[in-house]
């Protein structure tokens, strides 16, 4: 009997959580690592029907029924295999491929593929400890890798001399090229990875399907990965997941960091549940894989702007996967460091403080909105409302979504509109030194050009101006002139701050603080630079 390509059925099992599939027909409750409910295949009052999200199987201890998402749909809905596949494909948002038998030649290609990549990993491992790989070994040891860690993760070195294309001469060129290890050039095959520290990429079953090469000479990009192949897709592969699966169960969560070295160091220093995406932005496929193991995820990113943007993107992607038993959090490593550096300087305890203080998703999203929109103005609140609504609508668990909406409604009432209730009795806050005309002009700009509010919201919100006040001046500024006005004000206030700091440092220098002199020189340079920017701005047409 013809069957669908195994790659497609495997992708269905990867994309869909068996808990989500089964719970459409059977109410489930989590007890321990599994979910339990009353079996749909025989009458019972005491739940004996167990569902394992990680393994993707169900089993009834009463009647013995056992299977995966495909067999469950077939048996529970009394449909054939083809109909079940189509229904599951619709759930997963996948297009059903042509109905065809499994190709024996494809099976042989896959087996050959894994054999080649495993042999290549062995070659790279050997070269790391040869004289030709001395600089790579010195680098990886300097990064804190022990020989046991190198062995466990099968870290190696790819030299400059086309070691793979010269060693695998008994392998057909097409088969070797299919792994992504070599490419065809004008003079024959050449290695894709040369003078790279090599990190094998394992699939969930522990087979090496690709490699990630790290630059050793400071050149960019730092990492290059095997291009997508028949056996390897970056968007569907999580680095370190094969090592982390058991730890994810024990810790009842996964931790997602940004890079391979961070993931390895975390796994080896008390956080075995850590994984990382592969040189690409986090994808829905990555989240789907993690949620099948555990719906509790802590994202750990750098505290810089890039890390904040990565966190916002992760929040956006994870929302459709949220359930009422999810615990998604966001942790940030500040001070220009990454998890690897934190572990080196402060050890496991320092890293654990960062992870344990992670912000819950509901709070992170709220903080993001308040940071990016001026909610003290009607226009800002309107924009914030629209964004928040668009995010909440991504939550597919209807009951849970309703609770989230109620939570945010309460916050909006207490925080966004609190100023209305307490305005008359509120304590007077001392405003910055801004003249009345400047205040009136800014009120006009904010209410006339909301796009500038979004761009300069953080600066404007720090001015303590009531942007809801009546517009009493028509500044007659166009969009370009309005932006120029805001930027010039921002630069002037920055220069004033620098001058105040300089005055304080002069007092410190007079008191004998030898370090103050260098700081004064630095501030003088900053003031000159800011004044130059201000002059250029004023000369712009």
Interatomic CA distance for residues 453 and 379, integer angstroms: 9
Kindly report, residue by residue over 356-414, the tens digit of the pLDDT.
999 999 999 999 999 888 888 888 888 999 999 999 999 988 888 999 999 999 888 88
CA distance 227 to 211: 9
Q: Give SS3 for 197.
A: strand
Residue 539 has pLDDT above 90, yes or no: no
- Note the pLDDT tens digit of each residue in 27-48: 888 887 788 999 988 888 888 8
CATH architecture of 6-92: Alpha-Beta Complex (3.90)
- Measured CA to CA, the distance from residue 185 to residue 55 in angstroms comes to 44
Closest CA to 175 of 123, 234, 110: 110
Rounded Cα–Cα distance for residues 33 and 292 (Å):
12
- Categorize the per-residue pLDDT at 426 as very low, low, confident or very high, splitting at 50, 70 and 90: very low
**Which pLDDT value is given to residue 435?**
75
CATH fold match for the domains 6-92 and 236-367: no
Map out the domains of the chain as residue ranges. 6-92, 104-232, 236-367, 373-461, 479-539
The secondary structure of 198-237, three-state, reads EEEEECCCCCEEEEEEEECCCCCCCEEECCCCCCCCHHHC
Taking alpha carbons only, the member of 427, 419, 424, 464 closest to residue 442 is 464
DSSP one-letter code for 195: S
Q: Which CATH number fits domain 236-367: 3.90.79.10, 3.40.50.300, 3.30.750.24, 3.40.1360.10?
A: 3.40.1360.10
Architecture of the domain made up of 104-232: Alpha-Beta Complex (3.90)
Mean pLDDT of 435-447: 82
CA 453, CA 472: separation in Å to the nearest integer? 19
């Amino acid at each position: 009997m013809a069957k669908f390509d195994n790659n497609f059925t495997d992708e269905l099992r990867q994309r869909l959580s068996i808990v989500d599939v089964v719970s459409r027909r059977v109410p489930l409750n989590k007890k321990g690592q599994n979910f339990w409910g009353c079996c749909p295949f025989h009458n019972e009052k005491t739940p004996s029907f167990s569902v394992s999200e990680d393994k993707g199987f169900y089993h009834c201890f009463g009647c013995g029924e056992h299977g995966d998402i495909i067999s469950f749909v077939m048996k529970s809905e009394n449909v054939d295999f083809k109909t079940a596949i189509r229904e599951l494909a619709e759930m997963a948002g996948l297009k059903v491929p042509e109905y065809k038998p499994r190709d024996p030649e494809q099976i042989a290609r896959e087996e050959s593929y894994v054999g080649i990549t495993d042999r290549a990993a062995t070659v790279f491992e050997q070269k790391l400890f040869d004289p030709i790989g001395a600089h790579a070994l010195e680098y990886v040891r300097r990064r804190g890798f022990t020989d046991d860690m190198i062995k466990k993760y099968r870290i190696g070195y790819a030299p400059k001399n086309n070691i793979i294309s010269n060693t695998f001469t008994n392998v057909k060129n097409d088969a070797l090229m299919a792994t992504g290890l070599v490419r065809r050039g004008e003079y024959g095959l050449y290695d894709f990875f040369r003078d790279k520290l090599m990190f094998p990429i394992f699939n969930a079953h522990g087979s090496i399907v690709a490699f990630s090469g790290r630059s050793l000479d400071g050149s960019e990009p730092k990492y290059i990965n095997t291009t997508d192949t028949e056996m390897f897709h970056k968007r569907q592969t999580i680095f370190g997941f094969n090592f982390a699966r058991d730890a994810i169960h024990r810790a009842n969560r996964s931790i997602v960091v940004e890079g391979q070295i961070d993931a390895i160091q975390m796994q080896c220093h008390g956080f075995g549940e850590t994984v990382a995406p592969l040189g690409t932005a986090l994808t829905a496929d990555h989240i789907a894989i993690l949620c099948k193991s555990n719906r509790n995820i802590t994202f750990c990113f750098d505290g810089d702007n890039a890390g904040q943007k990565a966190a916002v993107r992760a929040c956006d992607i994870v929302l459709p996967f949220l359930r009422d038993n999810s615990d998604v959090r966001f942790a940030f490593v500040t001070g220009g460091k990454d998890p690897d550096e934190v572990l080196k300087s402060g050890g496991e305890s320092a890293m654990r403080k960062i992870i344990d203080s992670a912000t819950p998703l509901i709070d992170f999203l709220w903080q993001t909105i308040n940071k990016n929109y001026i909610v003290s103005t009607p226009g800002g609140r309107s924009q914030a409302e629209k964004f928040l609504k668009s995010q909440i609508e991504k939550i597919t668990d209807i009951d849970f979504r309703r609770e989230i909406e109620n939570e945010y409604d309460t916050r909006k009432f207490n925080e966004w509109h609190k100023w209305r209730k307490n305005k008359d009795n509120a304590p007077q806050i001392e405003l910055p030194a801004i003249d009345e005309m400047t205040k009136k002009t800014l009120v006009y700009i904010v209410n006339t050009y909301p796009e500038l509010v979004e761009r300069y919201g953080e600066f404007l919100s720090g001015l303590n101006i009531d942007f809801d006040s009546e517009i009493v001046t028509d500044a007659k500024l166009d969009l370009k002139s309005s932006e120029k006005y805001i930027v010039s004000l921002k630069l002037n206030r920055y220069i004033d701050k620098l001058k105040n700091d300089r005055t304080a440092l002069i007092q410190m220098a007079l008191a004998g603080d030898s370090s103050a002199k260098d700081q004064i020189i630095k501030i003088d340079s900053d003031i000159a630079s800011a004044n130059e920017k201000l002059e250029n701005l004023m000369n712009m047409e």
